[in-house]
Structure 1
Amino acid sequence: MEGEKKEHIQRPRSIILVGMPGAGKSTLGVMLAKALGKDFVDTDLLIQSQAGTTLQQIIDQQGYLHLRAVEESVLLGCQFGNHVVATGGSAVYSEPGMQHLRKFGAVVFLDVALDELRKRVTDYDNRGIARREGQSFESLFAERRALYLRYADLRIDCAGLSHNEALAKLLVALENYYQSPV
């Protein structure tokens, strides 16, 4: 009706980063949070804080499935109103966790090629990566990449990009995604 105000619906404005270990979620996340004036959260650190131990110690003492269960509990217990969230690489194994995160904003997959990840992740066996015993990095990559693509609202191809170049590409993609300045 004339003279009636239209209700403005605000889309969630958090940004959820997913990707393999070594993809740059934490590094780019801090840079992105600074660029956009948002809080930064690394869910791996939340898990370690809640558990009172490192990710690798959780795996060593209770197994990788226990780490995934703790991760899901942490994800479901968080509220991210205006954050950049760097998730653990295994967050995508939790359907409830990912659906919860999607409520807060765009899920962005930082896509890095396997050969580049291999160069970056030199501590695969003791980095605290939730994986089956003996699972190769290649197998983990193939398994997880399908999940990252499944949940991603945006995919950023980070091949050959510096952190600053990846950040610039990410900012443009987010602006286009939201069709307004983020």
Structure 2
Amino acid sequence: MGFHDLVQRVRERELALEQRHAQASASWQGLRGRWREGWTPTRIVLGGLLGGFVIGWARPVRRVTGLPASRWVQIATSLWSMTASFRAKEAATHAEAAAGEAGAVAETAAETAEVAATATGVADTAAAPAAPAAEAVAPVAPARPLPSDARRRVDTGWDTEPRPAEAATELSER
């Protein structure tokens, strides 16, 4: 099978995927509309009465109030840790996506600068004389030290998850 045949197959599959996505989106919008239309005031009241009856019959409060205080603290700590880990994962996902976008923008900017330099026939070193004219107009800002490269290096110590004993030891040492 030739390259052009494969490209054509990919285009066909992408078109089919877009059509399925549009169908699913339309079906979801229809379901959401029907769901909202189905919640009439009578159904809401009946659902509340039925839910209240089930909760009263099951009496979950009586079962929960018998727990000791230490158990409540353990439950609260577990829930807090779980939400913190979800937030950390979400932040890491956003950071990874932002880094990918920044890399793509940097590559595009480099390519654009290279094409512009090639099109005008100006090398990178020839563009340097334009800077003194700009400095004569604008005041000179004090030089700041450059950030170290240590923050850009990959920390290989975190490539794999630690064993439970190592994780507990590291957390207790902090």
Q: Fold-level match, TM-score > 0.5? A: no
Whichever structure has more strand as a proportion of its residues is 1
Ranked by relative contact order (alpha carbons within 8 Å, sequence separation 6 or more), the top structure is 1
Larger Rg: 2
TM-score, scaled relative to structure 2: 0.18
TM-score, scaled relative to structure 1: 0.18
